[in-house]
Structure 1
Amino acid sequence: MKPGLQVERTQLSWERSAFGFLVGGALVLLRPHGPLHAGRVALASIAGLLALGVFALGYMRSRRVRDGGRHVPPPRAAVLLLGYGTAAFALAIVVALVLTA
């Protein structure tokens, strides 16, 4: 395997996670039931901010791996942040669905 492919795969996986947040926000906006209200716009904005955050974390991580070489610590904080962000976003969507039902 060529050196450097790990960095590329890592960057692509972070980008896929960011894209997932963007799709989640778009689905909230494109929901066909009722008018567009502030809650749906807020959820889509949160999804966009989470996507930007995940993309930035992935970029910093891949840059650190590319520049640092061998002794790069595992991405515990970034993965925890991504996991908690995903759980919080899912909870916000559930709460919004319950409140609008």
Structure 2
Amino acid sequence: MTGDAVPRNGPVDPGLQPERTRLAWSRTALAFLANGGLMLHAGHRLDHWAWLTPGAVIIAVSVAVYVASALRFRRVDDAIRSGDPVVGAAPIALTAAAAVVVSLTAAVVVATAH
């Protein structure tokens, strides 16, 4: 057994790294949700569709990020408990891409909607 492997059914990371990561993903999803909600609110108050559509999309992205975080937490926790390597950066890359798209969308909407 190597120094990196955790014995099957053995002790889990005492620093609770997977739980901290899950909380960070949850905060990211909450930030997306708040941004989408604010855009929906502004669109409703201004009666302007340019705020409503991106707001709804951003809220959908927040739900997707939250679900992805729950699934990733389960995979990472299972891998740590079984001593398997933790792989799979696709959810992280997709969340980063979503953050860029959300930011650009908000900037375009603010700059163009009156």
Provide the TM-score with structure 1 as the length reference.
Answer: 0.82
For residue 12 of structure 2, the aligned residue among 3, 13, 20 is: 3
Residue 38 of structure 2 is matched in structure 1 by 27
State the 4+ residue runs in structure 1 displaced beyond 6 angstroms: none
Provide the TM-score with structure 2 as the length reference.
Answer: 0.74
Aligned-partner Cα distance in 1 for 2:12–2:31: 28
Residue 97 of structure 1 is matched in structure 2 by 110
Question: How many residue pairs get matched?
Answer: 99
Provide the alpha-carbon RMSD of the alignment.
Answer: 2.2
Gaps of 5+ in 1: none
Aligned-partner Cα distance in 1 for 2:36–2:45: 17
Gaps of 5+ in 2: 1-10
Structure 1 or 2, whichever has the larger Rg, is 2
| Percentage of pairs with the same residue | 27
